[in-house]
Structure 1
Amino acid sequence: MTVQTFNPEHVLVSQQKDGTLLPDMTNAVLKEVAESSVVMQLGKYVEMGGKQEVTTQIQTDGLSAYWVNETEKIKTDKPEVVPVKLRAHKLGIILLASREALNYTWARFFEDMKPQIVEAFQRKIDEAGILNVNNPFANSVEQATATARTAIKGAINYDNVLALQDKLYDADVEANGIVSKVQNRTALRESRDGNKVSVFDRSANTVDGIQVVDLKSNQMKKGTLYAGDFDHLIYGVPYNINYKISEEGQISTVTNEDGTPVNLFEQEMIAIRATMDIAVMVTKDGAFAKLTAGAEEAVL
């Protein structure tokens, strides 16, 4: 007997609606989410091994070096290592398509839906972990700047970029990343020192030598920058992305033009549900600082 395998180039969506996809397909979505998400680009990955909650060890400040005389014992610092619990939360999206999509191959359907899934997941992860918008996690970068009182108000210019870094230096932190958005590019280019040299390197996408990553979300206001040591932002992904196709049922979160819920059976539509689990945590409040134009208050 010949054992049939799932080939996305040949199998129609209607033939396999349970979301059982090739690892290559699910890995492709997760890879693109990781490449577009600020949290996953700058944060430090923690292996979760298929568990919803894991305990990981983080090292507190305390390492130092000492000048010593000949034959004198070298002092030994013992930085504190503390356990923290990293807990994943489920993130889901439902996308609608015409019934005709059931006649697509999974390869075609997957390529059509992938950009929408990637963008939706990226935005939700970054809005929660960075901006504290609809945040299921214990904390966020936004909350960290409020707790540590490292937020400053002012326009994006050379002096304020230095002031933003000074906030971190006060806590013995050196930034390895800056979160910005595309709309800040002009202000960054015009931020020049006394020699009229721009603080922004367009070719390297750096500010004062620090890597800049743009966050895609209208929830982040123009004129806002977050700087910090993103080794203190950790994240984990316990499972791969899961899919499910449905032809029946009512979608309560999506409505028609007349305000009625979408009914898949009556309207000859299908819905694809995609879910992923992710955990995000800030392990040191003082590791982050924020520059804001002052129009909005910190979200607590």
Structure 2
Amino acid sequence: MVLKREQFNPDNVMMREAQDGSIPAKYETLVLKEVLQNSKIMQLGKYIDMGGDLEKNFEVFAKGPGAYWVDEGNRIQTSKAEFLNIKIRAHKLAVILPVSREYLDYKQSDFFNAMKPRIAEAFYRKFDEAAILNKENPFDFSIDGSVTTAGNTVTGEINYDNLLAVEDKLLDHDIEANAWINKAQNNTALRNATKVENGTTERLYDRSGSVIDGLPFVNLKSDQMTKGDLYAGDFDYLYYGIPGNLKYQLSTDAQLSTIVGTDGKPVNLFEQDMVALRATMDIAVMIAKDEAFAKLTATAPTETTDPKA
């Protein structure tokens, strides 16, 4: 007689019996779906399949091939396309979420149903702040770092001329922007970014169509982004990858040095009868061309060329 192996079912497992491991495939897919739908980098950038590896080399199109005018009977010139060989490398992103100890009595399926949005939001917020704003950034790349390296900063208030000046920074490098990254607090200033010509008021911002100068924009929700800042770029030069599975671990006795309670003191799980969920994922980002991004800011840029400064 052949014994049939029982298939794993998260509906039959309590969280106190499974305090670490990989997030079950169904819920991992749901978490990743929510991350993909909300991360601004993932909405605008290009996905690279890393095949489960933490590093991957790949080629991106640089220029060519060209076309030529040919006189009758003359040899046709030939040219070849040029590609850049670049590397994308993943880093581990971890989030810690304190929850009530009662969650240990949840079935694994119920637990991850409840925690899915919190895990996803923590992941995409942290990833976007690193890859866009260069905040707590483990990567060698960020949009803000590329802007600094390329010198593509326009300093001044949000107005008609300055918005066009940001796009002109890119055009100086033969690059056309295909999207903007905005902060919702900028919307009033964007509505007032107008120019009167021949008695007609021209506007660059259209909230209903979610466009600035005809280009789509996304709003980054982060207190790390300064009001008055906007980024424009050709996001075909930005790549991201997710090579590994999502893993988790529960702790009942740690002191969370980076999370404080209402009393302003670090959360002590044992004293406060709580549980902490630590979720991790490997994620990668790289920018193939610094000159592909520009920024409008009211703050004068610092004198540095280090993208991680």
* Same fold (TM > 0.5): yes
The Cα offsets for residues 254-297 of structure 1, whole Å up to 9 and x where unpaired, read as: 35566765443444321111001111111101111111112564
Q: Which amino acid is the alignment partner of residue 179 of structure 1?
A: I
Pair 191,78 (structure 1): closer, same or farther in 2 beyond 3 Å:
same
- 1:282 is matched with which residue: 284, 287, 306? 287
| Mapping of residues 82-93 of structure 1, within 5 Å | 82-93=84-95
Query: What corresponds to 2:96 in structure 1?
Result: 94
Q: Give how far 1:235 is off.
A: 1.1
- The answer to whether structure 1 residue 159 and structure 2 residue 164 are counterparts is no
Query: What corresponds to 2:53 in structure 1?
Result: 51
Pair 64,171 (structure 1): closer, same or farther in 2 beyond 3 Å:
farther
Query: What corresponds to 1:212 in structure 2?
Result: 217
Bigger mean CA offset, 28-37 vs 108-117? 108-117
Query: What corresponds to 1:203 in structure 2?
Result: 208
In the alignment, is the contact (CA less than 8 A) between 2:20 and 2:247 conserved in 1?
no
- 2:278 is matched with which residue: 273, 290, 299? 273
Q: Give how far 1:219 is off.
A: 1.3
In the alignment, is the contact (CA less than 8 A) between 1:181 and 1:222 conserved in 2?
yes
The Cα offsets for residues 33-86 of structure 1, whole Å up to 9 and x where unpaired, read as: 111111111111111111111111122234433333334444333343232221
Q: Which amino acid is the alignment partner of residue 289 of structure 1?
A: A
Q: Give how far 1:226 is off.
A: 0.8
- The answer to whether structure 1 residue 231 and structure 2 residue 226 are counterparts is no
Aligned sequence identity (%)? 50
Pair 218,264 (structure 1): closer, same or farther in 2 beyond 3 Å:
closer
| Mapping of residues 55-134 of structure 1, within 5 Å | 55-134=57-136
Query: What corresponds to 2:186 in structure 1?
Result: 184
| Aligned pairs, number | 300
Query: What corresponds to 2:42 in structure 1?
Result: 40
Q: Give secondary structure in 2 for the equivalent of 1:197.
A: strand
In the alignment, is the contact (CA less than 8 A) between 1:8 and 1:106 conserved in 2?
yes
Bigger mean CA offset, 257-266 vs 55-64? 257-266
Query: What corresponds to 2:32 in structure 1?
Result: 30
Q: Give how far 1:15 is off.
A: 3.1
Q: Give secondary structure in 2 for the equivalent of 1:100.
A: helix
Question: Any unmatched runs of 5+ in structure 2?
Answer: none
In the alignment, is the contact (CA less than 8 A) between 1:6 and 1:21 conserved in 2?
no
Q: Give secondary structure in 2 for the equivalent of 1:174.
A: coil
Q: Which amino acid is the alignment partner of residue 190 of structure 1?
A: N
Pair 243,155 (structure 1): closer, same or farther in 2 beyond 3 Å:
same
Q: Give how far 1:25 is off.
A: 0.4
Q: Which amino acid is the alignment partner of residue 243 of structure 1?
A: Y
Pair 144,62 (structure 1): closer, same or farther in 2 beyond 3 Å:
farther
Q: Give how far 1:136 is off.
A: 1.0
Q: Which amino acid is the alignment partner of residue 168 of structure 1?
A: L
Q: Give how far 1:189 is off.
A: 2.2
Pair 219,20 (structure 1): closer, same or farther in 2 beyond 3 Å:
closer
Q: Give secondary structure in 2 for the equivalent of 1:24.
A: helix
**Aligned residues: CA RMSD:** 2.3
Pair 102,187 (structure 1): closer, same or farther in 2 beyond 3 Å:
same
Q: Which amino acid is the alignment partner of residue 290 of structure 1?
A: K
In the alignment, is the contact (CA less than 8 A) between 1:39 and 1:129 conserved in 2?
yes
Q: Which amino acid is the alignment partner of residue 238 of structure 1?
A: P
Bigger mean CA offset, 23-32 vs 114-123? 114-123
